Amino acid sequence: MKTELDQQLVSKYPNLFKHYGGNTLLIFGIECGDGWYSLIDTLCGAIQGEVNWVNRLWPELNFSCSAVQVKEKYGCLRFYYEFFYTSDLAADDMKKLDASMDRISGMAIMTEAISKTTCENCGVECTQGEGMYARAECNACETLRRDAYDSTHSA
């Protein structure tokens, strides 16, 4: 992803990307094409909304979710994250917190599934290729990529 798009996400969701460029795999930035920007933006907004809701219920928790790595793998988006909180909860409240963490996990899984049918380069709807080197790529972007490869590898 272009650096300026990375920076937009980091600026918009500073708590979620607090480790950006630091001592995590986010040192490499967001490792996917620009076409998934809106998917990542929507996911981050939903995660931040859930985190805000939990912190309104239990401010003493200081609950947070931090991205650890965001990348393309096997033709779909992977959004790796971790949770932090600072105090214990009663059993009933812990079930509610677990449900919130499950919702965040579900959001990430759903976004990964949607990415399989969204062109990683331009964001239009597409079908994912098959095999080990599958890509979520529309026909136009696939043609551009292949033509660029052919022009640099021809005799």
Identify whether the C-beta of residue 144 lies closer than 8 Å to the C-beta of residue 124. Answer: no
Residue 25's Cβ-side half-sphere holds a number of Cα atoms within 13 Å equal to 12
What is the C-alpha separation between 55 and 103, in angstroms, rounded? 15
Check residue 22 and give its pLDDT: 74
Q: Mean pLDDT for each consecutive 10-residue tract of the chain (155 residues)?
A: 95 93 82 97 98 94 94 94 88 90 98 96 87 82 85 72
Check residue 130 and give its pLDDT: 72
What is the model's pTM? 0.90
Check residue 32 and give its pLDDT: 96
Check residue 53 and give its pLDDT: 96
In Å, what is the CA distance from 106 to each residue of 29, 69, 103?
A: 23, 17, 5
Type of residue at 69: Q
Check residue 155 and give its pLDDT: 57
Check residue 11 and give its pLDDT: 96
